[in-house]
Structure 1
Amino acid sequence: MVAGGCENSSVGIQTQLRRANTVFRFVALGYPVLLGGLAFDALVRPLWAALLVVVLLGWTWAATEWYRRRGYEPKALYTDLAVTVCAVAASSWALATDTGVPVSVGPWMAGAVLAWAAAWGRRSGAVAGAVVAAAGMVFRGGVHSSTVNETVLLVLTGFAAGHLVRLGVVAEQRMREAAERSATVRERERLARDIHDSVLQVLALVQRRGAEIGGEAAELGRLAGGQEEALRALIRSESYRDPLGGQRDLRSLVGRHAGATVTVAAPATPVPLPAETARQLAAAVASAVDNVREHCPAGTKVWLLVEDDGEAVQVTVRDDGPGMEPGRLAAAAAEGRLGVAQSIEGRIRELGGTTAVVSAPGEGTEVEMRVPRGEGGAGGDARRGR
């Protein structure tokens, strides 16, 4: 059964069906009016028959206004179905003829069924059709060809209308998501062009002039070159990433660091994580790589290892730099230098993960960041099921 809140997420098709149902209900009133007019001389209670038609007209107007103002709220739907059942019962008395066969309100009964199908889907539509058909059997002479035909038509109408609404809801959602992705891609491409024409050109110039000048300027040029390479990789990964249903492939975010001094090892299959989780974990990895470039000699090698065991994702950043003395991180935090404490450990802790830093003088440094998969678990389950 489709949730009652789908009115907001599928306003397009539900609004169109509600308007079509409004027209249908008013037109369908012509059925009992026409048959009643043709059999007017045979009606046992013609005045009551006329009053019933007026009541049905009034309720049709009231129901359509209720739906228009308040949407398909449960109170309106249940009331509409109850009034329809009462109308079926009243018609067996008010529209009775001297032949013993009452005039039916006919297609008008389907109005409430269509409303239920539009609001709550095919199952609810079929149930509403069955309820109205059961009332017809109870008050209009039991099971015979006429009531059986009405039952089949009402149940099928509710089921088919609900199914079409559900298909429309899915189609609208996909179109909306496609439009959002298209707009996002166009904006990224515009930003990529602007960055290429400004920031990347400046970084390339700094790298080239630094190499020409030499000395400390050469080191600045090397850092500028590394940042230019990382920024180009960022633009490529953001502009052409694979769609993962609102998730991000961690490999593309970490892979942008690959270069002459950075080696990245990752699984052959995507490592999907919720978008924000992936961004924060990638930011922590970037901070660890930046620490190596800032505190280690030029040419220090860095290895990034991405592991996915289904329950959690772990990224290890290891370098062959000079390492750190025991207690160095605690001393840096006490001095107010919170790069590791906040940029790395703080981010991972907020994601519900853990961080381990292993280092010793002359043996390099290893930073292990492990984050539980959380809502990205579906991806891990899918891989384990392969």
Structure 2
Amino acid sequence: MSVEQPLWRALAVFRLLALGYAIMQYMSAADEYRYPFGGWAVMGVLTVWTLLTMYAFERPELRGWPVLSVDLALAVLSVLATRWLDDPARVAEGSLTLPTVWSSAPVLAWAIKGGWLTGAIAALVTGTANIVERGEIAQSNLHNIVLMMLAATAIGYVVELARSSERALARALQLEAATRERERLARDIHDSVLQVLALVQRRGAEIGGEAAELGQLAGEQEVALRQLVSDAPVDLEAADLPGSGIGEDPARQDVRALLGRLAGARVSVASPGTPVLLPTPVARELVAAASAALDNVWRHAGEGARAWILLEDEPDEIIVSVRDDGPGIEPGRLEEARAAGRLGVSQSIEGRLRDVGGTALLTSIPGQGTEVELRLPRQTPALNGRG
């Protein structure tokens, strides 16, 4: 987990500083010990172990429970060794143990590794060793035990919250990626399969006979497929989550040329005199959205409708406008289409622009036609630093 690594590094610094403090304290009191060489031996062991743990805690595969168990055992043994190495009178007076605050480092390590409960257990074990070393429950060591318990449980609880937040974030990112992929597939299906099924249904009804039955079946499949691509739940375990493809191809394409392919007897295209270059995937998405807007014109505006496409290359954004002279859209019609699972505007147009950092604005007045305005700001991740 990424949240753990900074904590392990901070703990390594704490262990090193605590070791230095323990050594300085022992140097000032070594002459008063009953067995001073034994005390130096303990300091040597703690020094070697501290250096080893600074290496081990940088590697997740090494900071497992076996290493942490040895860590806690050394803290307990070094505390208990004080009772036999120090002068009994000093022990009875409550003098500092050999590891001093270093003994709390393994407790914090247990809290980081296993959470508040394991941290509390390690604090309880270390606290018991302090009581045994003193030979009684005194106010001073009881105070230290309570502080150690509070620190271990607090750090352990914070680590558990951070881990839970990271899992939630990873889940949300997976869900967003899966949803975006489903929307992309829905757009592709809308631009191909659904349009073919709608055409078969319409032509079958016009021809009649067996063709009408075939058209009816095509209409039923169209409804079922629209429901599937618009409402199907996302299975994160089974979903294949490829990248969106945006930015993978560094080549650029001229949007003017791509829009020019849409020109025809009933479609007029106006564009600047200079190339309007965009990264290839972005350009294709922008033109595909314009094509989807044209498809809506032919489907809803009637056989005699005309359309005009205007490409504007502004300093801060690129604008593609698709306007028709049809009857316009009745109020509430778009909301009804979304509720029915029709994805022409919400996915094939708005979804495409949203995926490349742009916006789509639809303006329609009954009896005066419809205009779809596609805006792509230049300051977007899709355009900055990608080709």
After TM superposition, the score normalised by the length of structure 2 is 0.55
| 2-structure distance, mates of 1:171, 1:135 | 36
Contact 2:116 2:156 in 1 (8 A): yes
What residue identity is the alignment partner of 1:86? L
Q: Give the counterpart of 1:199 among 193, 205, 225.
A: 193
Instruction: Report which of the two has the higher share of helix.
Output: 1
Give 1:230 deviation, angstroms: 0.9
Q: Which runs of 5+ in 1 are unaligned?
A: 1-10, 247-386
| 2-structure distance, mates of 1:27, 1:38 | 17
Residue deviations 1:54-74 (CA, integer Å, cap 9, x gap) = 210111223344443534433
| 1-structure distance, mates of 2:89, 2:117 | 39
| 2-structure distance, mates of 1:99, 1:177 | 57
Question: CA, structure 1 residues 32+144, in 2 after alignment: closer, same or farther (shift >3 Å)?
Answer: same
Question: CA, structure 1 residues 221+69, in 2 after alignment: closer, same or farther (shift >3 Å)?
Answer: closer
Question: CA, structure 1 residues 185+163, in 2 after alignment: closer, same or farther (shift >3 Å)?
Answer: same
| 2-structure distance, mates of 1:21, 1:50 | 24
Contact 2:206 2:212 in 1 (8 A): yes
Partner of 1:51: 41
Partner of 1:349: none
Partner of 2:321: none
Is it true that 1:90 corresponds to 2:81 in the alignment? yes
Please show how residues 52-71 of structure 1 align to structure 2 within 5 Å: 52-67=42-57, 68=59, 70-71=61-62
Partner of 2:117: 123
Q: Give the counterpart of 1:81 among 72, 75, 90.
A: 72
Question: CA, structure 1 residues 231+96, in 2 after alignment: closer, same or farther (shift >3 Å)?
Answer: farther
Give 1:211 deviation, angstroms: 1.4
| 2-structure distance, mates of 1:194, 1:153 | 62
Give 1:93 deviation, angstroms: 4.1
Provide the secondary structure at the position in 2 that maps to 1:70.
Answer: coil
Contact 1:203 1:227 in 2 (8 A): yes
What residue identity is the alignment partner of 1:85? V
Give 1:244 deviation, angstroms: 11
Question: CA, structure 1 residues 229+137, in 2 after alignment: closer, same or farther (shift >3 Å)?
Answer: same
What residue identity is the alignment partner of 2:106? A
| 2-structure distance, mates of 1:213, 1:82 | 88
Residue deviations 1:262-313 (CA, integer Å, cap 9, x gap) = xxxxxxxxxxxxxxxxxxxxxxxxxxxxxxxxxxxxxxxxxxxxxxxxxxxx
Provide the secondary structure at the position in 1 that maps to 2:137.
Answer: coil
Please show how residues 76-155 of structure 1 align to structure 2 within 5 Å: 76-94=67-85, 96=87, 99=90, 102-104=95-97, 105-155=99-149
Partner of 1:17: 7
Residue deviations 1:31-62 (CA, integer Å, cap 9, x gap) = 21232234455455444333322210111223
What residue identity is the alignment partner of 2:67? A
| 2-structure distance, mates of 1:71, 1:126 | 22
Q: Give the counterpart of 2:165 among 171, 175, 180.
A: 171
RMSD: 2.7
| 2-structure distance, mates of 1:150, 1:132 | 10
| 2-structure distance, mates of 1:73, 1:92 | 30
When the two structures are aligned, how many residues end up with a matched partner? 234
Residue deviations 1:88-124 (CA, integer Å, cap 9, x gap) = 1123444559855543322211111112222222122
Question: CA, structure 1 residues 244+184, in 2 after alignment: closer, same or farther (shift >3 Å)?
Answer: closer
| 2-structure distance, mates of 1:96, 1:32 | 17
Contact 1:207 1:224 in 2 (8 A): yes
Partner of 1:222: 216
| 1-structure distance, mates of 2:175, 2:62 | 29
Question: CA, structure 1 residues 217+244, in 2 after alignment: closer, same or farther (shift >3 Å)?
Answer: closer
Contact 1:116 1:128 in 2 (8 A): yes
Q: Which runs of 5+ in 2 are unaligned?
A: 238-387
Question: CA, structure 1 residues 91+65, in 2 after alignment: closer, same or farther (shift >3 Å)?
Answer: farther
What residue identity is the alignment partner of 1:77? L
Question: CA, structure 1 residues 201+69, in 2 after alignment: closer, same or farther (shift >3 Å)?
Answer: closer
Q: Give the counterpart of 2:174 among 180, 184, 207.
A: 180
